[in-house]
Amino acid sequence: METKKEKVAVQNLQFCTFWLSGRLFGVHILDVKEIYPEVSITPIFHAPNEVKGYVNIRGQVYLILDLRPMLGFESKEIDRKSCLVIFKNTVGEPFGVLVDQIGDVVEIASDQIEAGAGDGGGQDKMGAAGMVQSVCKLPQSLLVVLDARKFLGSVEIK
C-alpha cells in the first residue's frame, strides 16, 4: 500500500538584515517602514539603557531603542555606518532601532528556517528574552531573525 506524502507549500520570506556586534540579525521586511541613515538622536534622560532617545523624521517622532544591550552586547558609539531601522505602526507605537550597519534584503525559503530560542519565553544565551524568532544558515553566516513586535515589551523600566 502506498502512502501519500503531504506536500508542504514552501514560500519565500524576505528579511531586512543588519549587523550588531559582528553578528547578522534580521526582521521581517513587511514590518519595516524605512531605513534611515541619518543618526541624530535626542537623548531621553533617566531612560533605561535600552532606550537611546528619539528622532523626528518628517514631523513624526520615533522612540529609538538600542538593540545591543537588549541582546546582551556592550553599547557602542554611533559611527558613520550606524543606521536606524524604523518600523511600521502595525508593529507598535512609532519606534525604531539603532543598528551597527545595515545589510541586504535576504529572501529565504520557509523550509530553511529553524525555530529559534524565542519560543521558551525566558532569556536565551544572548539575553534576547523571547525576541529570537528563528535562525537560518546562510552560505556566509548565520541569520538570527528577531520578532520586532517584542522589542518594546523587552525594555525594562526601573
Q: What is the pLDDT of residue 1?
A: 52
Q: What is the pLDDT of residue 38?
A: 83
The answer to the question of residue 5 being in a domain is no
- Tally of domains within the chain: 1
The answer to the question of residue 6 being in a domain is no
The answer to the question of residue 137 being in a domain is yes
The answer to the question of residue 115 being in a domain is yes
Grid coordinates belonging to 120: 521558551
Domain interval for residue 62: 12-153
DSSP element (H, E) containing 68: helix 67-70
Rounded CA-CA distance 109/112 in Å is: 6
Indicate the pLDDT class of residue 141, thresholds 50, 70 and 90.
Answer: confident
The answer to the question of residue 7 being in a domain is no
Q: What's this model's pTM, rounded to 2 decimal places?
A: 0.83
Q: What is the CATH number of the domain that holds 36?
A: 2.40.50.180
The answer to the question of residue 35 being in a domain is yes
